[in-house]
Structures are given as structure tokens and as C-alpha cells.
Structure 1
């Protein structure tokens, strides 16, 4: 596995946005699939020791993914994605909202708005992510909850999954 994969994480407080640029040592097709196929997402979309469990996923504009991050003790923390734009193997956008097991919002954090872009770079794939929050307070709260550490951990797990697909 390539050891020096790009990982850039920055917070733009003025625009209430987290920006992540991450390189994966894998083909665009494999990386795209890892982000858009529920069976693959469930293998990595939660920081260890949590596990991801998808209740349903309909990856299309207007579709949704309802999933839980499940703690080792079995506690479930639910979220719902609502897909607003999809350009296959190039970009997709979705909102993400904390909710209950039925998909009803249950947090005062509001939604985040994800804009995820994929591009090939020789033998690797670059994923550019912009995550916008509704307020600076929401952004700061998510950062305090350990978002940077969590997303970094999930990306490292995805590296391992992609390595097995070579």
C-alpha cells in the first residue's frame, strides 16, 4: 500500500465548512463503489470500534440512506442522507441529519451538506469533500465531538478495504 497518501483536513470558519482532500491507492471505480454501495459503506463508514448498519439505501437523486453507527455495547446513533445531486463517478451531494431509527430528525445540530468530488490521479483517486454546516456553532460542536479523528479513522479503514480489491 502506498504509504504517503494525501490527507488534508481544514476548517473554514467564515464559510462554516470542513474541507477534506483524501487520496486513495485505488481505481476510481472501486472508490466510487465504496462511497455509493451500502454493503461496502457498512464495512468502513464508522470509526472503530463502532460499526455501520444500513437500514435502507436508495442511491439516486431524491433517494435516502438511513443508517446507524453501532457502538460495541449495541447503542445505535442514527443518521439519514438525502441525495440531491449525482454525476456518476464524478460527484454527488447529500444532506446528513442525525435522526431516530425511522429517519425523523432528533438533534438540535441541524443538517450538514456534503459535496463529494472524485478524480483520477495516475494510479490513485482523489476525493474532495466540502461539508457545510448551518452555523459556526454547529460546526464547532461537530469538531468538538471528534469529527476529524472519526473521519480520519474511517478513511484508514477504507484504505484497507480498497487494498483487498486490487
Structure 2
């Protein structure tokens, strides 16, 4: 299996992290994986900290609530508040806006989906609230992304 992540760009000046990943499936199929909580659970968390979604109201103003479970059973809560949805093309959300114990959040996320000659592309952009938040969050986030997205590739290959 090839690595779906084709580019990760850190832009400290604009406080963004951009992830580009390509998949050999139609754009509609990629969109469905990102908008269905049962499919999200299969790849949102890395293999060493899988996600469980307990609530998923995929509407503008709606929320998704989930937790990641570490190998020792430790749990980390996460939330998204959806701020924009353009079916099969993109959605935007605030990540962890009510996560009071983590000063690095909220972060604004935008996931865009495009058709390519070989299938489809995900362009994920995370915008951080400060350079400090970005620098503190990025190392673990990049490890998680590189571990999680191959799981999405495997999920999509099942069809």
C-alpha cells in the first residue's frame, strides 16, 4: 500500500499546517468516510490511540464529540463544532473549543475534497491560535496524521 500523505506543509507565518493526501477512490466516497462517525472511528485516531465518536451532528452549528483511548487506557476528549459544510467539497470546524485543559485549542480546521485523475484528494488545513500553540502541537499532530491516514486508505480499499 502506498502512503496516502503526499505533502505536509508547516507555515509558521500564517499559523497553518496543510496536509495533502491522495486516495484512489471517487471524491464522493472520500467525503462519506469523513462525514460518517462509524467510518471516522476507523481512522481519526492513530492505531495507538483509536477514536470513539459519542455524538456526531454533522450540521452547521452542530458538534461531534469523541475520545481517543491510549494503550494504557488513558482517554483524551475531543470536540468539533461545525462552522461550514459544502457537501462533497469541504467542511470546516473548530477543534476542541471547549477543551479547557488544553491551551493550544481551539484550532480551526478545513477539510477540502477534490477529484483528481487518479481518484480524489484531501486538503486539510489547521489554523492555530498562536505560534506557541502551533509549535507545541505540531510534533504529536504530525505523528498522528502519518499514522492515521494509512488507516483511511485501508478503509477505502475495502469497497
Give the TM bin, normalised by the shorter chain.
over 0.9
Alignment of 1:19-34 (within 5 A): 19-34=18-33
TM-score normalised by length of structure 1: 0.90
CA-to-aligned-CA distance 1:92-132 (integer Å, 9 cap, x gap): 00000175xxxx53221121101111011124111111110
Equivalent-residue separation in structure 2 for 1:6 and 1:43 (angstroms): 17
Paired residue for 1:156, among 146, 150, 155? 150
Deviates more, 1:108-117 or 1:62-71: 108-117
Match of 1:119 among 107, 114, 121: 114
Measure, in 1, the Cα distance between the counterparts of 2:137 and 2:5: 23
Please tell me the root mean square deviation across aligned C-alpha atoms, in Å. Answer: 1.5
For structure 2, which runs of at least 5 residues remain unmatched after alignment? none
Residue deviations 1:1-53 (CA, integer Å, cap 9, x gap): 5x375510010000110011111111212110111110100111111121111
- 2:41·2:53 contact (CA, 8 Å) conserved in 1? yes
Aligned CA distance change for structure 1 residues 98 and 76 (closer, same or farther; 3 Å): farther
TM-score, normalisation: structure 2? 0.94
How many residue pairs are counted as aligned between the two chains? 159
Distance in structure 1 (CA, Å) of the matches to 2:49 and 2:42: 10
Ranges in structure 1 where 5+ consecutive residues have no aligned partner: none
**Structure 1 pair 96–115 and aligned structure 2 pair: CA distance change class (3 A):** same
